[in-house]
Amino acid sequence: MTDYIYSIEAKNVNKTYKRKNLEVNALENFNIKIKKGSIHGLLGPNGAGKSTFINILGGLVKKNKGNINICGIDIDKNQKLSKFKIGIVPQELNIDPFFTPFELLELQAGLYGIPKKNRKTEEILDNVGLLDNKNAYARTLSGGMRRRLLVAKALVHSPEMLILDEPTAGVDVELRSMLWNYIRDINNQGTTICLTTHYLEEAEKLCENITILDKGQVIKNDSKINLLNIISTKTVSFDFESKQEIPIELLQFNPKVEKNRLTLSYDKSKVSLSSIINILNKHNIVFLEMSTYESNLENVFTKLISSNGNN
């Protein structure tokens, strides 16, 4: 087995689509490294180039320039082997309605040349919660079940890396958290995960590292923790029994008063919450409740995308 550090390593990838006399640069000098064993998020607005990159990895779209290694295999030198290393779960629920989940997985295993004795069809169906439906026609499955079936299909050849394109699009809240747990389980068993998502909450929950792309280029590539620290403003609100005079030391924190509530904003990299509380204590101001608010990935994403020349 090839030893490697990055499950995906792409260098200076370019892809231009030509339509009549129109050229679209879908990827321009695109670089990414996805660490083996991680859960990596690929985020970007519509048209950023996410699907193009995934389709290049899957061999459906040909890049114009650049180098890509999948699990240490150069896709230009050994495309067949590199395809064995990854499983891709597409966004569209494109499942033949006349196959049952069992038949579909067996067919897929056959396509990968997996001998019958090495197939894990029932085990995989069980893992995605579809064992009870193994003989049902795919057309009778709900949207959530079809999505799980696509995940199962991508796992048939035990890939070292799983790519999920919008894994929970159109999936209800309950099923979404089940899929998240399942993605974590697959990762815990050693499979590297890359996912694209529109739900920034999803990326925030699952991913250790995140690449944000826009207009075919990487605009940020960092750990989730570092990304969340880009906006260092934190907000704290205190509720009092009655309206309070604001101590002079708190004026620097842009105080806002609404009924018996005082809200302050501060830079968490410079000021600690306890120092604010100490000021209240010094003035013998007793609060009943306190709540804090920190920026989430959505705030950071919006800031980065808008500073890249978008509205």
Binding site for ligand ADP (CB under 6 A): 17, 19, 24, 26, 44, 46-52
- Cα separation, 194 vs 40, whole angstroms: 5
Q: In the chain, where do the E strands start and end?
A: 6-19, 22-35, 39-43, 65-70, 73-74, 86-89, 161-165, 192-196, 209-214, 217-223, 233-239, 256-258, 261-267, 289-294
> What is each CA distance from 104 to 58, 96, 124, 153, in whole angstroms?
19, 8, 12, 8
Spatial strand order in the sheet of 233-239: 256-258, 261-267, 233-239, 289-294
Query: 3-state DSSP call for residue 180?
Result: helix
| Nearest-approach distance from CB 55 to ligand ADP, in angstroms | 7
- Cα separation, 13 vs 173, whole angstroms: 36
Tokens of 18: 């030509």
- Cα separation, 251 vs 259, whole angstroms: 18
42 vs 228, which CB is nearer to ligand ADP?
42
- Cα separation, 28 vs 22, whole angstroms: 16
Decide: 100 and 175 in contact? Cβ < 8 Å: no
121 vs 211, which CB is nearer to ligand ADP?
211
63 vs 119, which CB is nearer to ligand ADP?
63
| Nearest-approach distance from CB 17 to ligand ADP, in angstroms | 3
54 vs 105, which CB is nearer to ligand ADP?
54
| Nearest-approach distance from CB 309 to ligand ADP, in angstroms | 15
26 vs 104, which CB is nearer to ligand ADP?
26
| Nearest-approach distance from CB 84 to ligand ADP, in angstroms | 24
| Nearest-approach distance from CB 62 to ligand ADP, in angstroms | 11
160 vs 166, which CB is nearer to ligand ADP?
166
47 vs 97, which CB is nearer to ligand ADP?
47
| Nearest-approach distance from CB 70 to ligand ADP, in angstroms | 18
| Nearest-approach distance from CB 311 to ligand ADP, in angstroms | 17
The C-alpha angle with vertex 40 and arms to 39 and 44, in degrees rounded to 5, equals 145
18 vs 270, which CB is nearer to ligand ADP?
18
Decide: 68 and 239 in contact? Cβ < 8 Å: no
| Nearest-approach distance from CB 49 to ligand ADP, in angstroms | 4
Under 8 Å CB-to-CB from 296, ≥6 apart: which residues?
Answer: 200, 201, 204, 228
Decide: 162 and 154 in contact? Cβ < 8 Å: yes
Concatenate the DSSP letters of all residues of 284-308 into one string.
T---SEEEEEE--HHHHHHHHHHTT
